[in-house]
Amino acid sequence: MKTIQQSYPELAQALDTTEVYLKREDQHKYGSHKGRSIPLMIKKYSKEGPHTATIGGPFSDFVISSSGNAALAAIHAIQAHNRNNDNKLTLKIFIGENINAEKLKLLINLIEDPNITLTQVENPKQTAFLVDKEGQAKNLRQSTDELALEGYTELAEELNKIPNLQAVFIPTSSGTTAEGLGLAFAKLNYQAQIHIVQTTACHPIVDVIARTPHTTEDEAIPVDIDETKGLPRPARAGLAMTATSLADAIVDQVGHRKEKVTDIIKNSKGAGWIGTDDEILNAIELLKNTCKIKISPNSALAIVGLKKAIANGFKFSGPVVCLITGQ
């Protein structure tokens, strides 16, 4: 078991549901749930290259754009490799100019290897893409790389050990974790709802879920219920959209995986939710009071999603998991 998954009766009682587990990906040795995929990508690309050792050969130089957690995982993975191997890997990290100050400090303090550089730029995603395009380094881009999905098989296998698991609530940016878990659950023949939670500042996948047509009422995804009519409606309706969110790791406005994630959520009978800053703060306080646990605004989205699901008629006969993703 890579990270702790523990039931919290006090939290379940406060939420008026059966049983709630917290999956503590913030305790992962690589800092977050990104530690499931980023190290795997580095390991495979540095040994095998793009597909096989005969096509382009292995990579030794990597680049990543990140709002924090992916960069943390990449730093840990590169430094671990370089400590134990003669063939050194390099890593270029590009972060935005408005990155959270605490995350920036954490990244700077973590870097001990001269083969790793960190640069703040106006457009980190585009900068990393250009470095990759010019052949200078392999871009570790989870949102479009199918290899990233494989890393979440391990997470699914751990969650599979929870008897009668009903649902997993996932703070979501690109949708990679949700898609990876959904695919892995399918291979395990495990039935659990997938719920994603985004923010008032970034919610492209929830928008698609809300627009997805369904053939019967039973299949309808209740993405925020219209209290006057009791009918499903888009989650953004009635919510003030904002330029920023306390959950500042939710940044992928494109959502390349949105169609596949929507299909997975629909087939699992899960849903998509949007969390406001007030709801995020309330969730942080709830965890502090019931579980004595301090979590980040990004992780708090999982609790927000569960609260919204319960308020909108989801009833669970067994355990649900809130993914505490990291900082």
243-263: average pLDDT = 94
90-108: average pLDDT = 91
Tokens in use for 64?
């990543």
Tell if the pTM clears 0.95, that is, is over it. Answer: no
pLDDT of residue 216: 38
- How many Å apart are CA 25 and CA 60, to the nearest integer? 28
274-316: per-residue pLDDT in tens? 999 999 999 999 999 999 999 999 999 999 999 999 999 999 9
Place of tokens 């209740």: 222
pLDDT of residue 50: 56
78-101: average pLDDT = 93
258-287: average pLDDT = 97
Is 273 strand, coil or helix?
A: strand
- Residues 115, 116, 122, CA angle at the centre, nearest 5°? 140
pLDDT of residue 225: 42
Kindly tell me if the per-residue pLDDT of 89 is higher than 90: yes
215-240: per-residue pLDDT in tens? 334 443 444 444 333 334 445 556 78
17-31: average pLDDT = 96
How many other C-beta atoms lie within 10 A of the C-beta of residue 158? 17
pLDDT of residue 68: 84
102-114: average pLDDT = 93
How many other C-beta atoms lie within 10 A of the C-beta of residue 276? 16
Question: Rg of the chain's alpha carbons, rounded to an integer?
Answer: 20
**Cβ–Cβ < 8 Å for 313, 292:** no
143-191: per-residue pLDDT in tens? 999 999 999 999 999 999 999 999 999 999 999 999 999 999 999 998 8
- The DSSP element (H or E) to which 106 belongs, if any, is helix 101-110
pLDDT of residue 113: 97
Task: Pick the more confident residue, 51 or 70.
Answer: 70
Q: Which of 24-33, 48-57, 262-271 has the lowest mean pLDDT?
A: 48-57
pLDDT of residue 1: 63
- The DSSP element (H or E) to which 297 belongs, if any, is helix 297-311
Kindly tell me if the per-residue pLDDT of 53 is higher than 50: no
Is 267 strand, coil or helix?
A: helix
Domains of the chain: 5-32+147-324 (3.40.50.1100), 38-139 (3.40.50.1100)
Chain-wide mean pLDDT for the chain?
89
